[in-house]
Amino acid sequence: MSPTLALLLLSQVAFYTTVTSKKVCGRPPVSDGIDETILKRVYEIGEEVSLTCGQGYLPSTATTSRITCTDTGGWTQSNLACSPKMCPIPRALQPLAMGRTEAPFKSVLNFTYVMLGANESSCLHNGTWSNPPPVCKAVNCPLALPPRDGRIVHDKPITGSTTMYGQGWTYECNPPKAPSYERGSCRADGTVPDPPVCSIPTNIPNGVITFAVMRPHGYKEKVKYACNEHYVLDGQAEIQCQNTGNWSSKPVCRAPCTVGIKRGRIFYNAKKIWIADLKPNRVLHGEHVAFYCLNRADKCGYPVVSTCNDGSLPIPECFEGEFLPAG
Ligand SMILES: *[C@@H]1O[C@H](CO)[C@@H](O)[C@H](O)[C@H]1NC(C)=O
Ligand SMILES: *[C@@H]1O[C@H](CO)[C@@H](O)[C@H](O)[C@H]1NC(C)=O
Ligand SMILES: *[C@@H]1O[C@H](CO)[C@@H](O)[C@H](O)[C@H]1NC(C)=O
Ligand SMILES: *[C@@H]1O[C@H](CO)[C@@H](O)[C@H](O)[C@H]1NC(C)=O
């Protein structure tokens, strides 16, 4: 046996013994409705847990159920079962509930009906009510039209050629277009909204647009901008279709500047150079250039900084020299 292999086997034995020397229990398995919020991930041998039913559930037994972590790392049996509390279905809705009179905890009643008739009724002098009780009417809508260049994604599968009141959907547009709004639903009057217009983000001056589009969810489209050479991007390069349906604001490409003097020295890019040596004569948006002004009394030059701002680089007033013709 080679020394390396022996060492490997030894360390495995050591690892095995440290892990097995101290047994613990994991989180006990519990049935539906038992309160899991009190449970820990790890228990010592002999540790006990009192199980109770969570909110919205009723225990099957009156006594609390205790379980114990055994020395094999398992748990003793629990005799607790929890059943969900029931909500009575309102009488007026029972005809619609297919014979059921109650529904378990966490059930949802979806009202896909609208009320027809007066919303109130008063007891009159002659012992009658002013208005008859309202009736509930099922409302169906025709299927909504998808946007041009897009589609509709329904919240739940559609059966047949109608949707029910309250049912909703999302409009999606083919990339890189984005809808002007993204949700629609079957309305109480049985109508659906008109399909939205799919909009495409426009190009920016002196820049390009790239559609490296991911489509996790319709409206979270992203579009990326870049500027032409020597232009500097100001703002977010990436814009996103927002849930208002609009795109976040587009960036702007800022123009480079020409240093508008014929003769003289400047301080640029950590160097003091003659303007004739700046080839090509171009500094980028946001870059600083220092011009040397003359202090006549002391017969010395002092630097005054100017910054290129979207194509314009002001020359300090104190600078005396020859200027390039504008434009
Ligand atoms: C009821 O409405 C809820 C919330 O809008 C929805 O999650 C659920 O799917 C609907 N159920 C049915 C049966 O329509
Ligand atoms: C009943 O309808 C009237 C008018 O349509 C409205 O002003 C009122 O708030 C409604 N009452 C209730 C209790 O919904
Ligand atoms: C009760 O009074 C209302 C309002 O005055 C009237 O419209 C209705 O016909 C009366 N009903 C009876 C049964 O008299
Ligand atoms: C979306 O953009 C349009 C046109 O630019 C504007 O009129 C509208 O107010 C914007 N909507 C939102 C929610 O920002």
Give mean pLDDT, residues 203-217: 70
Closest ligand, as measured to the CA of 199: 4
Q: Tens of pLDDT along 237-255?
A: 988 766 566 677 889 999 9
68-72, 191-195, 206-210: range with lowest mean pLDDT: 206-210
| Joined tokens for residue 102 | 């109650």
CATH of 255-327, one of 2.10.70.10, 3.40.50.2300, 2.60.120.260, 1.10.1740.10: 2.10.70.10
Q: Tens of pLDDT along 143-199?
A: 999 988 788 999 989 888 999 998 999 888 776 666 656 789 999 899 999 888 777
| Joined tokens for residue 23 | 């047994």
pTM: 0.44
Query: Per the CATH hierarchy, to which homologous superfamily does domain 3-83 belong?
Result: Complement Module, domain 1 (2.10.70.10)
CA of 118 to the centre of ligand 2 (A): 9
Q: Tens of pLDDT along 79-91?
A: 888 999 998 888 8
* % of the chain at pLDDT higher than 70: 83
What is the 8-class DSSP label of residue 275?
A: G
Q: Which residue ranges make up each domain of the chain? A: 3-83, 85-122, 146-254, 255-327
Closest ligand, as measured to the CA of 121: 2
Whether 122 is in the pocket of ligand 3, judged by its Cβ within 6 Å, is no
Do residues 51 and 67 touch, judged by C-beta distance below 8 A? yes
* % of the chain at pLDDT higher than 90: 39
Residue 10 reports pLDDT greater than 60: no
* CA dist., res. 143 & res. 169, Å (int): 10
Whether 159 is in the pocket of ligand 1, judged by its Cβ within 6 Å, is no
Write down the pLDDT at residue 8.
40
Most distant pair of Cα atoms in the chain: their distance: 111
CA neighbours closer than 13 Å in the CB half-sphere of residue 249: 5
* CA dist., res. 202 & res. 312, Å (int): 26
Compute φ and ψ for 16, nearest 5 degrees.
Answer: -60, -45
Residue 72 reports pLDDT greater than 80: yes
**Which CATH number does 146-254 carry?**
2.10.70.10
CA–CA–CA angle 150, 154, 156 (5° rounding): 160
Q: Do domains 3-83 and 255-327 have the same CATH topology?
A: yes
Please indicate whether residue 54 or residue 299 has the higher confidence score (pLDDT).
54
> Which residues line ligand 4 at a C-beta cut-off of 6 Å?
244, 246
Write down the pLDDT at residue 13.
41
Write down the pLDDT at residue 11.
42
pLDDT mean across residues, the chain: 83
Write down the pLDDT at residue 218.
45
Instruction: Determine the atom of ligand 1 nearest the C-alpha atom of 166.
Output: 5
pLDDT band at 206 (very low <50, low <70, confident <90, very high): very high
The strand ranges marked E within 69-161 are: 82-84, 86-88, 102-104, 113-116, 135-138, 140-142, 150-154
Write down the pLDDT at residue 98.
78
Q: Tens of pLDDT along 265-302?
A: 999 999 999 999 999 999 999 999 999 988 888 888 89
* CA dist., res. 88 & res. 103, Å (int): 6
* CA dist., res. 221 & res. 238, Å (int): 10
